[in-house]
Structure formats: structure tokens, C-alpha cells
Amino acid sequence: MAELWFYHLENASIDQALPELLTKLTERGGRALVCSQEEARLDHLDAHLWTFREDSFLPHGRDSAPQPEDQPILLSDGTDNLNKADMLFCLDGADPGDVSAWERVVVMFEASDETSLARARALWAAQKKSDIAISYWRQNEMGRWERKA
């Protein structure tokens, strides 16, 4: 059954939180599709995931590059599951579409981004009426994720 998780970033940015979540997923053998409608965000992540740590990187590719199906992490402006990902990460207010098509959908939004916050609230309200398992996560002062709802 699909799960929809909302990650409310108050003490970290997407640049800080996303690579950590992707690292945990890939260490377990999972695959991810990272979706944003903002081309600048995708360009930035394409570089950032190679360099976010001095001692490691996250192998990934863009959906516009050859063989997107081979990428453990695929960056895209759409939600077509070209790499047969387990999880969909939606950034910048991206619409996940049919949530039931995924094992888990993570909607990430920074507290300072009013547009993404409003879209996340609207998605929460709409999905609360569905059969999808929904949870809401916030970071505590220590940077750890806590389930709040």
C-alpha cells in the first residue's frame, strides 16, 4: 500500500536533507525519482549530489540523458517512473499525481517557501480523504525527524 510522507524543513534546506534521505534509500537497495518543476533546482541537484560530501557521492542522472532506466536516482520534471523507482520525492510544490502508483511519496518543503507550503497543505487536505497512509514529519532542534501526525 502506498504511503505519502510530508517532510517540513524548518532547520535544514532541501540541499541538506535530501542527500541524507537518498543515501539511506540507496544503501537499502532502493531507487528514487526526484521531481521538481524548476529546471534550476534540477541543474543544481545534478551537481550537488556529486559533491555534497567530500567522502562520497550519490550516483544519479537526468531523465533527458541516455538510459534513464539505469539510474538509481533520477532527476526529472515529471513523475513518469522511468527508472522503476520505489520512492518519489516531490520538491518545489511538484504534484505527485497518482500517489497509489508508488511505495512511498515524499513531499519536501522548506518552511520559508510559502508556495510549496500552500501546495503541501492542499495535497494533505485532498489525500486525507483517500485510502493512502499519510504522515507528517518535522525536524527537531537536533536535526532528527519526528513524526507529528
In contact, 8 and 111? CB cutoff 8 Å: yes
pLDDT in tens, 81-90: 999 999 999 9
Residue 98 confidence (pLDDT) above 80: yes
Range of the domain at 102: 3-147
Higher per-residue pLDDT: 140 or 30: 30
Mean pLDDT of the chain: 93
Residue 23's SS3 state is: helix
CATH number for 115: 3.40.50.10110
DSSP bridge pairs for 86: none
Number of domains in the chain: 1
Would you place residue 122 in the very low, low, confident or very high pLDDT band (cuts 50, 70, 90)?
A: very high
pLDDT score for 22 = 97
Nearest to 35, CA basis, from 102, 112, 90, 93: 90
pLDDT score for 51 = 92
